[in-house]
Structure 1
Amino acid sequence: MRHEIWNKLREEANELVSREPLLASHVYSSILNHECLGSALSFIVANKLADAVVSAFTIRELFDQAFVHCDTMLTHVANDIKAVKDRDPAADSYLNVILNLKGFHAIQAHRLAYCLWRQDRKELARFIQSRTSEVFGVDIHPACKVGHGIMFD
């Protein structure tokens, strides 16, 4: 399923670049320059969570580690994208979900915090929780286990 979502995201991204050239740089840096869903997701969310002290690069590395240690995470991400697209009338494409919807971004940041919590990296998990709350307005304790196919609006 996640490969199908990724292929559809790339298709929608190419269509958007054709329709709206002013967004080409954003779409390329967020989607088309990446080889997989995990890479694109980590780029998008890390750039939103980064602050003056913890860089987007550092947060991307945390995501990359989480994708390895929490092996169902990317499958859950794909299920979340599909859930939002299927249930939210404002989500007219998979691309809109991954690029623009802060509820989706908050859940993915929580998935990172939860993975860190399970690795006993509690202070780092709390940092991600705090940044998620500040940036997206959603506060989920890092120990909270969530399922998949989640939609926050």
Structure 2
Amino acid sequence: MTVTATSDRLWQQIREEAQRACAFDPVFGRSLVDAVLAHDGFAAALADLIGRRLGGSAAERARFTSFSRDAFRGAPELIEAAARDLQAIVRSDPAIAGLLAPLLHFKGYVALQAWRVSNWLWRHDHRDAALLFQNEASNLLQVSIHPAASIGVSVYLDHATGIVIGADVVIGDEVTILQNVSVGRGSSLPTRSPRIGRGVYIGAGATILGDLSIGDFARIGAGTVVTCDVPGGCTAVGDPAQLTNCPEPASAA
């Protein structure tokens, strides 16, 4: 499979959905022409979407779009990651029947793709531009992810209001994060950031702070405050977090 195989198939599906929507509702369809059908590929449409959502003026929109295009040209794997993120929403959310709605209307999705651009800028020493992306995503989308964080693919920011992810946080593939979640450094030394494994679910209002690891497929309950390790497969609930529903080896430990 080539790097762009998933994104190419997904783009064709998005265009077909947009064409059906245009035929069904010509008034709504006029907006789809600019947002989807006028573009020659997923990368161009996504760069334009980021520019629309982060840029308040025409000049700002052009600047954010240009930065995004540069990132996607320099790192085509960002588009593949964006495709897998979009597919993850459809798999995870039973209320979603297609790709078009989360692409155009889910602010958590565009915030995550804006972060992918900011992370590329950060790693290529365009740090002022990277922080500008973070600032505007925080102001306009209520999602603040530091460019120096590390986030895998097939990630779903659900509802995506009040999410804060700090510098050097590591988040694995297939993670779901709900609203009002904070992940970052604690106050004790050394001030290292959390490492979150694959397939972790983080409920609304959870706080995860400090030098800790959350194992693969763990679940963090709503409102839980986590300041210690959570073994893989366990559920953490409460303030402070208590472990429950752990696999046998973790329970014995």
State the partner residue of 2:77.
72
**Residue 47 (1) aligns with residue 52 (2):** yes
**Among 9, 16, 26, which residue is 1:11 paired with?**
16
How many correspondences in the alignment? 153
In structure 2, the residue matched to 1:135 is: 140
Q: Please, which runs of 5 or more residues in structure 1 have no aligned partner? A: none
Per-residue deviation, residues 39-86 of structure 1 (Å, max 9, x unmatched): 111111211100248521111111111012223100001101100111
Q: 1:120-131 residue pairs with structure 2 within 5 A?
A: 120-131=125-136
Q: Determine if the alignment matches structure 1 residue 56 to structure 2 residue 49.
A: no
Paired with 1:45 and 1:90, the residues of 2 have a C-alpha distance of 24
Equivalent-residue separation in structure 2 for 1:102 and 1:62 (angstroms): 19
Report matched runs for 1:19-38 at 5 Å.
19-38=24-43
Q: Distance in 2 between matches of 1:106 and 1:100?
A: 11
Instruction: Give every structure 1 segment of 4 or more consecutive aligned residues whose post-TM-superposition deviation is greater than 3 Å.
Output: none
TM-score by length of 1: 0.95
Corresponding position of 1:89: 94
Stretch deviating more after TM superposition (8-17 or 88-97): 88-97
- Structure ranking higher in helix proportion: 1
CA distance in structure 2 between the partners assigned to 1:87 and 1:69 by the alignment:
30
Higher strand content, 1 or 2: 2
Please say if residues 50 and 68 of structure 2, whose CA atoms lie closer than 8 Å, have aligned partners that are also in contact.
Answer: no
2:152 is matched with: 147
Q: Secondary structure at the match of 1:51?
A: coil
Question: Partners of 2:95 and 2:135 in 1: how far apart?
Answer: 27
Distance 1:54 1:146, change over 3 A: farther
| Bigger radius of gyration among the two | 2
Question: Where does structure 2 lack aligned partners over 5 or more consecutive residues?
Answer: 1-5, 159-253
Higher RCO structure, 1 or 2 (CA under 8 Å, sep 6+): 1
Distance 2:123 2:76 in 1: 13
Tell me the distance in 2 between the aligned counterparts of 1:46 and 1:137: 16
Q: Secondary structure at the match of 1:139?
A: strand
User: Closer, same or farther in 2 for the Cα pair 1:135/1:128, shift >3 Å?
Assistant: same
Q: Is 94-103 or 62-71 further displaced after alignment?
A: 62-71
Residue of structure 1 equivalent to 2:120: 115
Which residue is 1:102 aligned to?
107
Distance 1:13 1:136, change over 3 A: same
Cα RMSD, aligned residues only: 1.2
* Counterpart AA for 1:66: A
TM-score (norm 2): 0.59
